[in-house]
Structure 1
């Protein structure tokens, strides 16, 4: 079996999370990824603790299967070296602020003159146009401006600091992957590459699809704790007797009925489908009173074989040691280098094909250890 993206060659200038997460998928799925890094200003992801096997764990994961090439892009000889090799590549991914690659002489217009089939993707916070294009930002800022944070969290405590980088990964990385592979398919017909402008804020805005659709259609905006799915209904988290949490998503009639029976709470059947906020507030209080009577372990055992959309809120260690994680192979042992018997446990690529395989050749390399 061959990896699905065998034959594609990617030149990656990105750092931190959004670009590297995107090119990780390409590398796992068979593409040849060359990661160009500065020898003078290391990618900060290399420095973030914790460390294992002499490297930052995030770096070892995000940059597995990639060749690390150390080049100072302020050196004209290195720019010419890249230009001399650009015809070998299908895809360029970069994550600098708008205008930086042009100043370096590595912008799309320059490189496409050398390689007309080149697909060139720029991932930035705010895109290549508009008044925000040159502003600095991070995941928390993109979620703030896209409306995601404003519709999330509690009225009293405000938007939550998310444990997952939603804008970076779901906004930037995954949209970049979709766009690049779409351009690869289009190139099969046209024979030409093209430029892709990915704004993490743009892409975060569309993640809020259901509430945004209602707001844009002229309906009342759903502020935090006012919508069906953002805490305004009984679809929510509930604290157990020992200060752990259960997730309850029993929206459909059959699940609602099952939950009402388990909790001995007929009020759920009376008010579960109500769109009145006072009704939902009363219902949530009643559910919370029931959940607070037992421990996390007790509720987990009760709901383990019940098909009612109620699940325990697991921490990372619990999640990755769960039966689900084992059955679905969430983790993989990756060699520290090609042919090494020493391995590091990492997140596996979650995409499962019937024929194509995923490759796990080695963890992220030391700076400059790769070869063109």
Structure 2
């Protein structure tokens, strides 16, 4: 076997962002993912850099023709999962909506990925990751006090609250379908998923341990013991010494263990001044110096690496956190499995396949 989803057949309606990433996760875990693209569709940049297409095969179909729709339905008939990320109603207008597909294949797990969801006042509006996480309350919690909220790349909405939630939903629905013999529709909205990612913070706010005032909480960069600091060489380190025993080791490493001002770790009134003093100490040495002094201890320390440095760090090298495919360094499949070890079957952009060959491969085995 090659991954825990070996034998699962997935149809991905080609799109951008979280849909392809979700399907890539399924492919990484061993699923046979066929990406249905339209004639003339091209990857964003060179094909070997389209990391989200790795492990997949590609079928080119003209979805504007009745013949093309019939081809997709023939494929769906033997599929386990369909992944689509169009606006609500697009698949229905193509003649490939859930009702049609589930009638053709009652066991199908029909995964739908949108920003706002399949229903609600905003469901048909355009949007991007930043808009969806803004509505969840999470964007407003990110950034420094007195500064605008800081966009966290597309990690929170598109990939955390969107693609990974859909992949989790698909896995759940596959387990249920194996018992019931029935498929179902998954409505994965990034607004919902991002709100769910914020469960801890909503819970903390509920009992008064979290303030809606950005940049005033111990996990948002306000505390002197949980932030990033610039070193003498202009590089940065990340320190997260929350627990008292870890905090004590931090003060020892900084030469501040005997300073009474630092004894009141949780006194928020002191945090700005204590942060200034910690920053002044860290600025006296290079990042390499602090790595030599702190890395591997219980201080809760790490150097802030860029994307050139991260694949070369000894810990990432030891765990093979990054792999190289066709000359492109990229994150390896995750998480790890002890028995059904995943591997990437195809390089990004390869290979294309014709419908007849695919249907012959996807025919159910005779009992």
When the two structures are superposed, what TM-score results if normalisation uses the length of structure 1?
A: 0.89
Shift in CA distance, 203/273, structure 1 to aligned 2, threshold 3 Å: same
2:281 is the counterpart of 1:297: no
Following superposition, the deviation at residue 164 of structure 1 comes to 4.7
- Corresponding residue number in structure 1 for 2:316: 325
Q: In the alignment, is the contact (CA less than 8 A) between 1:69 and 1:367 conserved in 2?
A: no
Contact conserved, 1:256 with 1:268, CA < 8 A, in 2? no
Q: Is the 8 A contact 2:57 2:351 kept in 1?
A: no
State the distance in 1 between where 2:297 and 2:104 align: 61
Contact 2:236–2:304 under 8 Å retained in 1: yes
| Displacement after TM superposition at 1:366 (Å) | 5.5
The question of whether the paired residues in 2 share the 8 Å contact of 1:272 and 1:283 is answered with: no
1:131-155: CA deviations, max 9, x gaps? 1101111112222222221101112
Q: 2:11 matched to 1:27? A: no
User: Would you say 1:352 and 2:336 are equivalent positions?
Assistant: yes
For residues 107-130 of structure 1, what are the alpha-carbon distances to aligned partners after superposition, in whole Å with 9 as ceiling and x for unaligned? 111111111111101000100011
Matches within 5 A, 1:170-319: 170-216=160-206, 221-234=211-224, 235-265=226-256, 266-267=259-260, 269-274=262-267, 276=268, 278-319=269-310
Runs (5+) with no aligned partner, structure 1: 337-342
- 2:123 matches 1:126: no
Cα displacement (A) at 1:370 = 5.8
> Match of 2:44?
47
Deviation at 1:323, TM superposition (A): 0.2
1:198 is displaced (CA, Å) by 0.3
CA gap of 1:208–1:370, structure 2 versus 1, over 3 A, is farther
How much has 1:24 moved relative to structure 2? 0.9
Alignment coverage as a number of residue pairs: 353
Distance 2:296 2:123 in 1: 51
SS in structure 1 opposite 2:33?
strand
2:346 alignment partner in structure 1: 362
Distance 2:199 2:56 in 1: 34
Q: 1:239 touches 1:246 (CA, 8 Å); kept in 2?
A: yes
* Equivalences for residues 73-222 of structure 1 within 5 A: 73-216=63-206, 221-222=211-212
Q: Point out where structure 2 has 5 or more consecutive residues left out of the alignment.
A: 359-367
CA separation of 1:279/1:168 partners in 2, compared to 1, >3 Å: closer, same or farther?
A: same
> For the residues of structure 2 that align with 1:365 and 1:355, how far apart are their CA atoms?
28
SS of the residue corresponding to residue 59 of structure 2 reads strand
- Structure 2 CA distance, aligned partners of 1:170 and 1:130? 21
Alpha-carbon RMSD: 2.0
TM-aligned CA distance change 1:85 to 1:241, over 3 Å:
closer
CA contact (8 A) 1:112 1:118 kept: yes
8 Å Cα contact 2:4-2:341 kept in structure 1: yes
SS at match of 2:308: helix
> Contact 2:53/2:348 (CA < 8 Å) preserved in 1?
yes
Per the alignment, in what secondary structure is the counterpart of residue 10 of structure 1? strand
For 1:358 and 1:56, how far apart are their aligned partners in 2? 20
Whole-angstrom distance in 1 between the partners of 2:261 and 2:6: 53
